[in-house]
Amino acid sequence: MFSTLADSLDKSFRDLRGVGRLSEKNITDALRQIRIALVEADVEFNVAKNFIERVKDKSIGEDVLKSIKPGEQIIKFFQDELTELLGGDQAPLDLNPPARVLICGLNGAGKTTTSAKLALRLKKEGRRPLLIACDLYRPAAIEQLATLGKQAGVPVYTPDASETDVVKVAKDALAWAENQNGTVLIFDTAGRQEIDDKLILELKRLHEFLKPKETLLVADAATGQQAVSVATHFDDAVGITGIILTKLDGDARGGAALSMREVTGKPIKFAGEGEKLDQLYEFHPNRMADRILGKGDIVGMVEQVADKVNEADAMRSMKRMQQGKFDFTDFLDQMKMIQNLGPLDGLLGLLPGFNKLKKQLPTGALDNKRLKRTEAIVLSMTLEERRRPEIIKGSRRQRIAAGSGSSLQDVNQLIKQFSEMRKMMKSPGKMRNMMKQMGGPGGMGGFPGMGGPGAGGGDLNDILKKLGGGGKSPF
């Protein structure tokens, strides 16, 4: 999401590093360019202006100008101020009894999905969340929450379709919750396309009745300059305690993340990336500052991989690799493991400098659809063919191509690369060299169907190897 801003900041900082001697003038010129970049990224004008002034005040001190690496010091000041702008330390939820969480925001921000995501996250933490449907206006909102709650394995209170009094719904829900053995109640409320008096009045009534410990504003990261107005209105109305940013995986310019925290003084507590229910993450200001500055978020990447990869299955596959027993069934298991990690560009976007590397990759190298196509080829094989790829000859290959909707060339290339991979399994050094050389439909990380020529397979394999722990790659 922050790629455009990161590129602009990178250029400005490179210019600062390239100056032989810094002065107040060239610092001012560089910071002016950074301020323009922030405003273009939808950071509210006064927020950008005040932020730059704070960085400038620190940067023009005599000790900085006379230091050996003044450019590096200014970057450090910028990073520190950016972390502070985003909230400083990570802010946890207040879930002391009675733990009630009120979710609010405009239509389209993702309140209902976020409510279910939060419930699933709390459930994984060992709590017993309950979902309450309080959106009585949007068509199918109640049904949507019920469906998402079922997917998350969380009980949902659904009011009668004819009910119009949101406070009565909340009162009935509290009575229902007493028999559900729940520890956290999450109330999904109605939104509007824009803030109006009816919305605010209803939200105030509900808030006064529930007296929630947490009132979380769900805000679309693509909101832009309007983010400040939205956050201010909701905060004035009900006193929000935190913000959840959604759609951080989109192509929004990201200014909302930098503006709302500064204007409201309320922390960003979570960030949503993707549509899957497990794609809600704690918001860590220092990590987000690193991402904006192109330094990535390795800790976040490891957490995501560790949460979604079954270590026992990964090590079982590694053992079969080392024994030379790896077959297409194992390969299929690995592909499913990778798909569980979510979009590859989102995950790899947490790597330092990946935005630059991404521009060098062939078109579609990180497209999960390529994995699906490869998976279709493997699924078109019989169990015997998966166990003994050497028996897949001419007529079998034609049948597999027809069954998977692929070309015979794709099938031939996959089998060839897989055969080469099997030969190399017992020699990690040779295997790495092979992965670096793999091209065509295969290539990225040594997994056929994940890249193309020059896709950098060895680099990704090294990354996954490090994430596996103990020097062994789970892939």
- For 179-217, how does the pLDDT look when each residue is reduced to its tens digit (9 = 90+)? 998 999 999 998 877 778 888 899 999 999 999 999 999
Model pLDDT, residue 470? 40
**Assigned CATH for 302-467:** 1.10.260.30
CB 2 within 8 A of CB 350: no
What pLDDT does 296 receive?
A: 56
Residue ranges of the annotated binding site are: 105-112, 188-192, 246-249
What is the widest separation between alpha-carbon atoms in the chain? 78
Predicted pLDDT at 472 = 36
Name the H helices within 60-162. Answer: 62-65, 70-85, 111-124, 141-152
Residues annotated within the binding site for GTP are 105-112, 188-192, 246-249
The structural domains of the chain, with segments of one domain joined by +, span: 3-85, 99-293, 302-467
Q: For residues 325 and 343, which has the higher predicted lDDT (pLDDT)?
A: 325
Closest CA to 185 of 134, 112, 132: 132
76 pLDDT band, cuts 50/70/90, is confident
pLDDT score recorded for residue 272: 87
Question: pLDDT digit string (tens) for 81-111?
Answer: 888 888 777 788 999 888 999 999 988 888 9
The 3-class SS string of 213-275 reads: CEEEEEEEHHHCCHHHHHHHHHHHHHCCCEEEEECCCCCCCCHHHHHHHHHHCCCEEEEECCC
Give the model's confidence band at 475: pLDDT under 50 very low, under 70 low, under 90 confident, else very high: very low
Asked whether 346 and 275 are in contact (CB, 8 A), the reply is no
Least confident piece of the model among 7-11, 162-166, 447-451: 447-451
Q: What is the CATH number of domain 3-85?
A: 1.20.120.140
The verdict on whether omega for the bond into residue 362 sits within 30 degrees of 0, i.e. cis, is no
**CATH number assigned to the domain with residue range 99-293, chosen from the 4 options 3.90.1150.10, 3.40.50.261, 3.40.50.2300, 3.40.50.300:** 3.40.50.300
Residue 302 confidence class, pLDDT cut points 50, 70, 90: low
The reply to whether 3-85 and 302-467 are identical in fold is no
- Tell me the pLDDT tens digit for each residue of 376-432: 999 999 999 998 888 999 899 999 999 999 899 989 988 888 887 777 765 655 545
Tell me the C-alpha distance between 433 and 304, whole Å: 28
Residues 36, 41, 45, 51, CA torsion sign: negative
Residue with tokens 């028999």: 179
Does the pTM surpass 0.75? The reply is no
Q: What is the pLDDT of residue 324?
A: 67
pLDDT, tens digit, 9 for 90 and up, residues 427-459: 655 545 544 443 333 333 333 343 333 333 334
Q: Indicate the angle between helix axes 394-404 and 368-379, nearest 10 degrees.
A: 130
pLDDT at 62: 57
